[in-house]
Amino acid sequence: MLKDKIQESKFKGDAVIWTVFFFLCLISIVEVFSASSNLSFKTGNYLGPVLKHCVLLAVGVVVMICTMNIKCRYFKIVTPFALLLSFAMLIIVLCVGESTNGSQRWIDFLGIQFQPSELAKGAIILATAQILSAMQTPTGTDKRAFKYIMIVCVAIIPLIMVENLSTAVLLATVVFLMMFIGKVPGQQLGKLLGAVTLTLALVVTMVMVFGHDEQKEQSGEAKQAMVEQAAPEKENAIEKVFHRFDTWKARIDNFLSNEYVAPEDVDINGRDAQTSHANIAIASSNVIGKGPGNSVERDFLSQAFSDFIYAIIIEELGIIGAVFVCMLYVILLFRTATIANRCANTFPALLIMGFALLLVVQALFNMAVAVGLVPVTGQPLPLISKGGTSTIINCAYIGVILSVSYSAKKKDDIEAETVTT
């Protein structure tokens, strides 16, 4: 009896979510160890990168367990503080953040790169869930909820978009899906969808007009692959925006280019390095793959352990491994939906659906990039790619889902109480 109580106290929450999390972490350790060969070679430390990743995962597990033991009703208290902190840190990172590949996304804190946009994503999900739950009516959500959600999003998402367009698009997509699930009036959602479509069209037009694909224009010169490198000089806010236009235009041009390129003309070590080696990794695989640790393209993909880790997974684990990883995220989403459906209150249900959608949609972004369906976005594969703050915060999201799975009041419990009384 005592042993059962101890086990129950350690492993609270839904068993399926625990299982999915375990497999994602296991695949992460194996694939990051394999895909970090470049880092191991450069640093001369064979185990350094994977040990650092394991430490971050361990910290993430601790954060997950701590979050899991917080009753779901207390998450509402965090919302205003998380929003204010996110807004302040996004302003700070634009002014004094660490700059890599022309974008300032990180704050260096005690040797750890902290990415404020990761905190901002969670804060907006919290705020959206709280607004939607507070303004539920018998016929759906009050129309005023849409206005309040837009105020929160307009205050934070543009700050993210300046330096990380893909993260802003990801977050906006998840908020839209949450409003759809929360039964926001369809007329308002339709107007929002139209406004977002026009805005994206305007942004793409500005990028194509004002951006410069420097790698394309520098014919005959050594072309620089789109990897993270320190920016040589400081830029003001306007220059930063236009510099990002250059990066976005290069990615769009590279993705939309339909002209035939002879094999000998492919700049496999420069402009086309990332996508070319990712395609080779996928094409050289088979049903069962080459086996863990036997990837060849990991030595040529500069972001093999992050943005393109799914290509390495396909190369090493084959189609079976690729489908298995994809199914883990699908199971995570559907299991979370089942837990949400059992919740008696709307706040915990919307909150965990928001976090699950955030993880799964980001995973789909990463997979789509790896197989060449969309332009390079720079989005890592959640809970698998090598990361810093993103790994820890993603573990916290899983902790929230586990917390709700056992601490939130269930519909069945209310029905049982009603029958008893």
pLDDT digits 0-9 by tens, 324-346: 999 999 999 999 999 999 888 89
| Contact in structure between 246 and 213 (CB atoms under 8 Å) | yes
Domain count, the chain: 1
Distance CA 192, CA 157 (A): 15
How confident is the model over 193-246, as pLDDT tens digits? Answer: 888 888 878 877 877 776 665 555 454 444 344 334 444 455 545 455 555 666
Indicate whether 261 belongs to any domain.
no
DSSP three-state, residue 301: coil
How confident is the model over 158-174, as pLDDT tens digits? Answer: 888 877 778 888 999 99
Indicate whether 1 belongs to any domain.
no
Indicate whether 141 belongs to any domain.
yes
pLDDT class of 44 with cuts at 50, 70, 90 = low
**Is the model's pLDDT at 25 over the cut of 80?**
yes
| Contact in structure between 37 and 49 (CB atoms under 8 Å) | no
pLDDT class of 387 with cuts at 50, 70, 90 = confident
Indicate whether 359 belongs to any domain.
yes
How much of the chain exceeds pLDDT 70, in percent? 72
Indicate whether 200 belongs to any domain.
yes
Indicate whether 6 belongs to any domain.
no
Indicate whether 170 belongs to any domain.
yes
Which is nearest to 176 in space by CA: 198, 194, 158?
194
How confident is the model over 346-357, as pLDDT tens digits? Answer: 999 999 999 999
This prediction has a pTM of: 0.82
Indicate whether 3 belongs to any domain.
no
Which is nearest to 90 in space by CA: 169, 152, 165, 156?
156
Identify any residues that bridge with 113 across adjacent strands, giving them in sequence order: 108
Query: What integer pLDDT is reported at residue 140 of this predicted model?
Result: 81
Which structural domain range is residue 357 located in? 13-215+225-256+266-420
Distance CA 233, CA 231 (A): 6
**Is the model's pLDDT at 84 over the cut of 80?**
yes
**Tokens for 220?**
């005959």
Query: What integer pLDDT is reported at residue 216 of this predicted model?
Result: 53
3-state helix, strand, coil in the chain (%, to 5): 70, 5, 25
